[in-house]
Amino acid sequence: MGRYLNLGNAGFASIRKGLYVDKSMLIDFVNSTLGTKEKLTCVSRPRRFGKSFATQMLCAYYDKACDSSELFRDLKIADTESFEKYRNRYNVIYLDITWFISTAERVEDTVKYMQREVIKELQNAFPDSTVEQKSLPVALSDISDRTGDKFIVIIDEWDALFREAKENVVLQKEYLQLLRGMFKSSVTDKMIEAAYMTGILPIKKYGTQSALTDFQEYTMIQPAKLAEYVGFTEEEVKRLCEDYQLDFDEAKRWYDGYSFSRIPSVYSPNSIIQAIKNGEFGDYWTETETYESLKYYIDMNLDGLKEAIISMLGGLRCKINTRTFQNDMSNIKNKDDVLTLLIHLGYLAYDSKSKEVFIPNQEISDEFKNAVEYSGWEGISAALQASEELLEATIRMDAETVAAELDKAMPIWYLSHGNM
């Protein structure tokens, strides 16, 4: 077993030993795409929404260098017709882009370094094939010509270069050229059985056109048939709360709020797991994304962004056009681009029917409040605190406190109604 080629099932075995929610039917979906014109899949979600869990599961299932039958025996996928047909039948190439960024001598060398390292493993695994030494797409084509083998390629954090080197356009284009060589060339069909990429951002746009048009994309804006794999569904959370004696209503208040046409309630999976492990509800988002990253974007205050954020903190929703966003962090031109980015980062939820964004739950609301406080938005932080105290006093039917806090909370009312 290698580091990149057929790395085995140890990653998924480790996942199965912990708290695990069965998302194995994702495999059935990928099986349905094998060898078809829909075989290229790109799934984008926020950090800690199970992306790496999914890639480890797919590696364990397809990798021909191991036997994963016991790992899947009690999961839903084991009851499907396709389970045995494709289990452990393929050469799998696994690329964790963050690994290559961190181990390359310079970030500028990442693409060349990645190709060199993977090709070395291919040369060892296929000694009877004449393998190209510099170009990974050509190397895969050489092997397919010689052996007839097709590869399944799984890429984790595919967009990391766009996030870590967001100003390095030359490196980004070199990376896209590599991906095009693998997935958008005349030899793709003969050497690639399927590809599954995950990341935070959707595939980079140039104008209105995707840079990799052959991929089927599933995003936080339009997850389509993969919506149930974005996070935990309501039924899954109910079962977890029953099993671990947690208050379901509190779990819903803290971590629910992401909603899609096929699945109306989706919960932040990492936060649910942390609440179970710690036995209490709280803000676990700070372990994933710090308020500084949110603060950076809301401080742009493009086209009334500040007013939009405050109105959402007041419980309202904002209309948005998501189509102008170029799926990167360096070409943000207006308020809607910022809000669209915040959808992909998990800070906002999106209603595709009304085309509105909103703050999904208590955990994310707390993150916004932290960002507002440290951004120094004069008077707003105090007004938010007053609004919370006003609500608590109203519930207690404390008329004196309600009267005292009402004036303090007025800035939120004015901003949320466009009067400031």
The last residue of one of the domains, among 218, 241, 269, is 218
Q: How confident is the model at residue 170 (pLDDT cuts 50, 70, 90)?
A: very high
Q: Are residues 66 and 171 in the same domain?
A: yes
Q: Are residues 303 and 362 in the same domain?
A: yes
Buried b (16+ CB within 10 A) or exposed e, 171-200: bbeebbebbbbbbbbeebeebbbbbbbbbb
The token duo for 371 is 């960002």
Report pLDDT for 403: 57
- Residue 107 makes CB contacts below 8 A (sequence gap 6+) with 101, 161, 164, 165, 168, 171
Per the DSSP assignment, residues forming a β-bridge with 153 are 93, 195
CA atoms within 13 A on the CB side of 195: 23
Residue 347 burial (10 A CB sphere; 0-12, 13-18, 19+): buried
In a domain, 4, yes or no: no
Q: Are residues 62 and 192 in the same domain?
A: yes
Q: Are residues 267 and 341 in the same domain?
A: no
Rounded to a whole number, what is the distance in angstroms from the first to the last CA of the chain? 62
How many angstroms separate the CA atoms of 87 and 122, rounded?
Answer: 22
CATH code: domain of residue 195: 3.40.50
Q: Are residues 260 and 183 in the same domain?
A: no
Q: Are residues 93 and 213 in the same domain?
A: yes
Q: Are residues 244 and 165 in the same domain?
A: no
Which of 82, 61, 46, 63 is CA-nearest to residue 15?
61
Which range of residues forms the domain containing residue 162?
10-218
In a domain, 254, yes or no: yes
What domain count does the chain have?
3
Give 96-127 pLDDT, tens digit per residue. 999 999 999 999 999 999 999 999 999 999 98
pTM of the model: 0.89
Q: Are residues 144 and 234 in the same domain?
A: no
How many angstroms separate the CA atoms of 296 and 304, rounded?
Answer: 15
Q: Are residues 115 and 50 in the same domain?
A: yes
In a domain, 5, yes or no: no
Sign of the torsion angle spanned by Cα atoms 115, 116, 117, 123:
positive
Is 75 in a helix, a strand, or coil?
coil
The last residue of one of the domains, among 218, 245, 265, is 218
Q: Are residues 81 and 214 in the same domain?
A: yes
Report pLDDT for 413: 44
Q: Are residues 236 and 316 in the same domain?
A: no
In a domain, 223, yes or no: no
